[in-house]
Amino acid sequence: MKRITLIAALAVASSAAFAAVAAEGHGPRGAIAERLKQADTDGNGMLSREEAKALPMISKHFDEIDADHDGQVTAEELRAFHQKRQAEHWKKLDTDGDGRISRDEAKANAPRLFEHFDEIDANKDGFITPDELRAAMMRHHRDR
C-alpha cells in the first residue's frame, strides 16, 4: 500500500511532464502511446472491450473509463480518467488541502516519498508542490 501511495503521488504531479516528453515520442508516455496503438487492432483510434484485454489496467477499469458507455475507450476518456485518479491520490496525500505536501503529510501517508523529500523540495520550504514533484519526475526519467 505504501508503494502504491508513492507511485500515486508521483503520478499525480507527473502528467504535464509526461505530456512534454510524449510530444517528442520518448519516455513513459511515448511507450504508453505505442502500447495503446498496438492494442487498437482495428486502427479506429479507440479501444473496444476486446482490444483493452491486451492492457490489463485499462481492461480492469474499462467501465469507469468509458464515460459515455458506448463500448469504446477514447484518448479523451483515458486522459479524463487519469486526471481524476491523480486528483484523488493527491487529495489523499494532501490531508490539509493546501495544495502542497508537507514533510509530516509525506511521513504519515507516503514513507517512500518522505525518504526523497529533501531531493524533491527544490526551494527547501518544507513542502512539495505539484511543480516540484513534476520536475523531480522529469529528472528521474531523464537520468534513467
Q: What is the pLDDT of residues 16-30, one digit of tens each?
A: 333 333 333 344 567
Higher pLDDT, 125 or 4: 125
**Residue environment code for 38-56, b if the CB has 16+ CB neighbours within 10 A, otherwise e:** ebbeeeeebbbeebbeebe
Secondary structure of 37-58 in the HEC alphabet?
HHHCCCCCCCEEHHHHCCCHHH
Cα gap 129→112, rounded to integer Å:
16
User: According to the model, what pLDDT value does residue 29 have?
Assistant: 62
Cα gap 140→136, rounded to integer Å:
6
Q: What is the pTM of this model?
A: 0.66
Q: What is the pLDDT of residues 38-74, one digit of tens each?
A: 999 999 999 999 999 999 999 999 999 999 999 999 9
